Protein backbone atom coordinates (compact mmCIF):
# COMPACT_ATOMS: atom_id res chain seq x y z
CA UNK A 1 0.00 0.00 0.00
CA UNK A 2 2.80 2.43 0.82
CA UNK A 3 4.44 1.74 -2.53
CA UNK A 4 1.12 2.50 -4.28
CA UNK A 5 0.68 5.74 -2.34
CA UNK A 6 4.19 6.90 -3.19
CA UNK A 7 3.93 5.99 -6.90
CA UNK A 8 3.63 8.69 -9.57
CA UNK A 9 0.23 7.40 -10.74
CA UNK A 10 -2.20 9.17 -8.38
CA UNK A 11 -5.81 8.04 -8.46
CA UNK A 12 -8.76 8.09 -6.08
CA UNK A 13 -7.45 5.04 -4.22
CA UNK A 14 -4.74 7.08 -2.46
CA UNK A 15 -7.13 8.15 0.31
CA UNK A 16 -8.19 4.59 1.09
CA UNK A 17 -4.69 3.17 0.78
CA UNK A 18 -3.56 5.78 3.29
CA UNK A 19 -6.38 4.74 5.61
CA UNK A 20 -5.45 1.05 5.38
CA UNK A 21 -1.79 1.77 6.09
CA UNK A 22 -2.73 3.81 9.18
CA UNK A 23 -5.27 1.18 10.25
CA UNK A 24 -2.66 -1.58 9.90
CA UNK A 25 -0.14 0.31 12.02
CA UNK A 26 -2.89 1.03 14.56
CA UNK A 27 -3.84 -2.66 14.76
CA UNK A 28 -0.24 -3.72 15.34
CA UNK A 29 0.21 -1.08 18.06
CA UNK A 30 -3.13 -1.98 19.62
CA UNK A 31 -2.28 -5.66 19.81
CA UNK A 32 0.49 -4.79 22.26
CA UNK A 33 -1.32 -2.09 24.22
CA UNK A 34 -4.84 -3.55 24.31
CA UNK A 35 -4.08 -5.56 27.46
CA UNK A 36 -3.76 -2.30 29.39
CA UNK A 37 -6.00 0.09 27.50
CA UNK A 38 -9.25 -1.85 27.66
CA UNK A 39 -9.39 -1.18 31.41
CA UNK A 40 -9.84 2.55 30.78
CA UNK A 41 -13.41 3.83 30.74
CA UNK A 42 -14.71 4.73 27.29
CA UNK A 43 -11.72 3.06 25.59
CA UNK A 44 -13.88 1.46 22.92
CA UNK A 45 -15.83 4.68 22.34
CA UNK A 46 -12.54 6.56 21.92
CA UNK A 47 -11.26 3.87 19.57
CA UNK A 48 -14.43 4.15 17.48
CA UNK A 49 -14.14 7.95 17.32
CA UNK A 50 -10.46 7.63 16.31
CA UNK A 51 -11.34 5.26 13.45
CA UNK A 52 -14.19 7.52 12.29
CA UNK A 53 -11.76 10.47 12.28
CA UNK A 54 -9.37 8.38 10.18
CA UNK A 55 -12.15 7.67 7.64
CA UNK A 56 -13.68 11.16 7.56
CA UNK A 57 -13.93 12.55 4.00
CA UNK A 58 -12.14 15.80 4.83
CA UNK A 59 -8.60 16.92 3.92
CA UNK A 60 -7.48 16.94 7.59
CA UNK A 61 -8.71 13.44 8.41
CA UNK A 62 -6.72 11.25 10.77
CA UNK A 63 -5.25 9.02 8.10
CA UNK A 64 -3.70 11.93 6.21
CA UNK A 65 -2.41 13.62 9.36
CA UNK A 66 -0.90 10.47 10.87
CA UNK A 67 0.51 9.17 7.60
CA UNK A 68 2.25 12.41 6.62
CA UNK A 69 3.51 13.27 10.11
CA UNK A 70 4.56 9.86 11.50
CA UNK A 71 4.37 6.87 9.14
CA UNK A 72 5.77 8.40 5.93
CA UNK A 73 8.93 9.88 7.53
CA UNK A 74 9.63 6.56 9.25
CA UNK A 75 9.06 4.65 6.00
CA UNK A 76 11.28 6.97 3.97
CA UNK A 77 14.02 6.62 6.57
CA UNK A 78 13.97 2.80 6.49
CA UNK A 79 12.57 1.84 3.06
CA UNK A 80 15.92 0.84 1.57
CA UNK A 81 16.60 -1.61 4.41
CA UNK A 82 13.11 -3.09 4.05
CA UNK A 83 13.52 -3.46 0.27
CA UNK A 84 16.88 -5.18 0.77
CA UNK A 85 15.42 -7.55 3.35
CA UNK A 86 12.48 -8.42 1.12
CA UNK A 87 14.84 -9.01 -1.80
CA UNK A 88 16.97 -11.35 0.32
CA UNK A 89 13.89 -13.26 1.50
CA UNK A 90 12.57 -13.67 -2.05
CA UNK A 91 15.98 -14.85 -3.22
CA UNK A 92 16.13 -17.47 -0.46
CA UNK A 93 12.57 -18.61 -1.15
pLDDT in tens, 12-23: 577 778 889 999
Query: Does 3 fall in a domain?
Result: no
- Please provide the average confidence, as pLDDT, over all residues in the chain: 86
Query: Does 1 fall in a domain?
Result: no
Q: Comparing C-alpha atoms, which of 72, 50, 54, 48 is closest to residue 15?
A: 54
Domain region containing 62: 8-90
Q: In this model, does residue 1 exceed pLDDT 90?
A: no
Percent of the chain with pLDDT over 90: 35
Query: Does 76 fall in a domain?
Result: yes
In the chain, how many domains are there? 1
Read off the pLDDT of each residue in 32-53 and give the average, rounded to a whole number.
89
Amino acid sequence: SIKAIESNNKEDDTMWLTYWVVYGVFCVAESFSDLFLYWFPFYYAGKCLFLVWCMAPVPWNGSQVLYHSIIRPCFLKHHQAVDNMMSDISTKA
